[in-house]
């Protein structure tokens, strides 16, 4: 793997990270204290979520003052995730990091945790409770950037397949706001198909195959299931159309290596989990952290930028090429790939 490419990657991320929350401040509570961090994740079998968890573990391990990461990781509904958070509270963890499935439903359990002096950091999907800290990629900007690139690539006219995430989940709702904002400026663009992929590459592949073989499509906007959509053009023996995807390493490899494929990788790094862990640990160390930290995405289509972040070799499909997020995370790409927390 060409990990030397992450040197430029760090510079890229540093350039587009919009710091709404300063991670500075004096360490007032460090000393010999060690901390236990709980993690609640409600989706398994998803490469993005897997990498998010690995980034949390990596950050906790390299900081040196976390004794354990207690991971509650399963496919479950809102009630089940609330139960998991309640379990973490009862176990006396010092901080909880969660990727919530609902913006409103977790407010009470978050406030219960904070009332017991547990730091709560929400990553990726926001909640409405002001008791929690939020560390997230800017999802509205993600939707808008990719849409504007696509509509321009199509010459401002034609039919688009709009392949979204999970209906009702905060990240999808925000991405749709950005997408619709861009769409309003391109009256010649028609959304001829709109589907929810549930962020499943398998589901998205099936939907894409049906769309491209039954409809006249001039472009596809995807919400993180890009590489499996590209594969369907080969399966159907059809010519490619411009495709919007995320920073999945498999998709970036396709953009670099498939002749005739035009696309853009809009950054949405799962290492936001590692940044969330960094914020949690900073707070536990006594640093003064504001409540919201947003990472602003970039739309990468230039081969030079794509080559700089692409990882050669055996690498999981669905994993992002982005690992280290300066100035938040302290681990290396190898730490994330190892996916080992303290004591593991």
pLDDT in tens, 121-156: 999 989 999 999 999 999 999 999 999 999 999 999
Do 225 and 201 touch, CB atoms closer than 8 A? yes
Structure tokens at 286: 């006594």
Residue 22 lies in a domain: yes
Q: Is the pLDDT confidence value at 30 over 60?
A: no
For residues 150 and 207, state if they share a domain. yes
Q: Write out the two tokens for 123.
A: 């990553």
**Considering only CA atoms, which of 249, 294, 276 is closest in space to residue 16?**
294
Please determine, for residue 31, whether its predicted confidence score (pLDDT) is greater than 90: no
How confident is residue 296, by pLDDT bands cut at 50, 70 and 90? confident
Q: Look over the chain and give the mean of its residue pLDDT values, rounded to a whole number.
A: 90
316 part of a folded domain: no
pLDDT confidence band for 315 (50 / 70 / 90): confident
Q: Which of 224, 244, 266 is the last residue of a domain?
A: 266
Tokens of 134: 């939020």
Whether residue 145 is contained in a domain is answered as yes
DSSP state of 312: -
Same domain membership, residue 247 and residue 199: yes
To 10 degrees, the CA torsion angle through 197, 201, 203, 204?
60
Nearest-5° Cα angle at 312, 307 to 314: 150
- 198, 182: one domain: yes
Contact 46, 318 (CB under 8 A): yes
pLDDT at 11: 40
In terms of domains, do 110 and 150 share one?
no
The closest of 219, 115, 113, 111 to 159, measured between CA atoms, is 219
**Rounded CA separation 226/33 (Å):** 44
Residue 315 covered by a domain: no
Residues 27 and 153 in one domain: no
Q: Domain range spanning residue 290?
A: 3-138+269-297+323-338
**Most distant pair of Cα atoms in the chain: their distance:** 64
Q: Buried (b) or exposed (e) across 127-145, using 16+ Cβ within 10 A?
A: bebeebbbbbbbbbbbbbb
Q: Does 319 score more than 70 pLDDT?
A: yes
Of 266, 285, 310, the residue at which a domain comes to its end is: 266
- Do 180 and 210 belong together in one domain? yes
pLDDT above 60 for 158? yes
| Residue 199, in any domain of the structure | yes
Per the structure, how many domains does the chain have?
2
With respect to residue 203, please indicate whether it lies within any of the assigned structural domains. Answer: yes
In whole angstroms, give the CA distance from residue 137 to residue 124. 6
Domain membership flag for residue 65: yes
At 32 the pLDDT is: 63
Residue 56, in any domain of the structure: yes
Report the CATH number at residue 194: 3.40.50.2300
Name the pLDDT band for 316 (thresholds 50, 70, 90): confident
* Mean pLDDT, residues 318-332: 92
pTM for this entry: 0.84
Same-domain status, 249 and 195: yes
d(CA 233, CA 216): 13
Same structural domain, 95 and 190: no
**Residue written as token pair 């055996």:** 314
* Tokens found for residue 28: 């007032």
Q: Are residues 276 and 261 in the same domain?
A: no
Are 225 and 283 found together in one domain? no
Cβ–Cβ under 8 Å, residues 193 and 212: no
The verdict on 108 and 24 lying in the same domain is: yes
Contact in structure between 38 and 95 (CB atoms under 8 Å): yes
Say if residues 266 and 297 touch (Cβ distance below 8 Å): yes
Quick: pLDDT tens for 43-89.
Answer: 898 889 999 999 999 999 999 999 999 999 999 999 999 999 999 99
Mark whether 175 and 201 lie in a shared domain. Answer: yes
């Amino acid at each position: 793997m060409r990990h030397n490419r992450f040197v430029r990657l760090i510079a890229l991320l540093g350039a587009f990270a919009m710091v709404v929350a300063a991670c500075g401040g004096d360490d007032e509570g460090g000393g010999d204290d060690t901390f236990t961090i709980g993690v609640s994740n409600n989706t398994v079998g998803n490469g993005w979520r897997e990498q998010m968890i690995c980034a949390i573990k990596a950050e906790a391990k390299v900081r040196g003052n976390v004794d354990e990461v207690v991971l509650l990781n399963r496919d479950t509904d809102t009630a089940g995730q609330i139960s998991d958070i309640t379990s973490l509270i009862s176990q006396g963890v010092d901080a909880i990091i969660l990727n919530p499935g609902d913006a409103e439903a977790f407010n009470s359990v978050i406030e219960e945790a904070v009332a017991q002096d547990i730091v709560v950091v929400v990553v990726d999907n926001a909640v409405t409770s002001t008791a929690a800290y939020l560390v997230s990629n800017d999802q509205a900007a993600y939707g808008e950037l990719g849409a504007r690139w696509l509509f321009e690539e199509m010459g401002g006219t034609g039919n688009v397949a709009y392949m979204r995430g999970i209906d009702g989940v905060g990240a999808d709702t925000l991405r749709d706001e950005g997408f619709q904002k861009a769409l309003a400026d391109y009256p010649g663009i028609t959304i001829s198909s709109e589907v929810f992929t549930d962020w499943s590459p398998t589901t998205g592949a099936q939907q894409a195959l049906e769309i491209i073989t039954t409809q006249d499509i001039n472009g596809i906007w995807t919400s993180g299931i890009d590489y499996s959509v590209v594969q369907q053009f080969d399966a159907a023996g059809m010519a490619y159309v411009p495709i919007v995807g995320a920073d999945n390493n498999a998709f970036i490899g396709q953009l670099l290596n498939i002749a005739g494929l035009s696309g853009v990788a809009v950054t949405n790094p799962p290492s936001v989990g590692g940044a969330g862990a960094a914020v949690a640990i900073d707070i536990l160390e006594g640093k003064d952290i504001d409540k919201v930290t947003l990472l602003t995405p970039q739309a990468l289509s230039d081969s030079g930028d794509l080559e700089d972040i692409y990882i050669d070799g055996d690498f999981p499909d669905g994993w992002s090429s982005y690992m280290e997020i300066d100035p938040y995370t302290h681990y290396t790409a190898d730490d994330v790939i190892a996916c080992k927390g303290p004591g593991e």
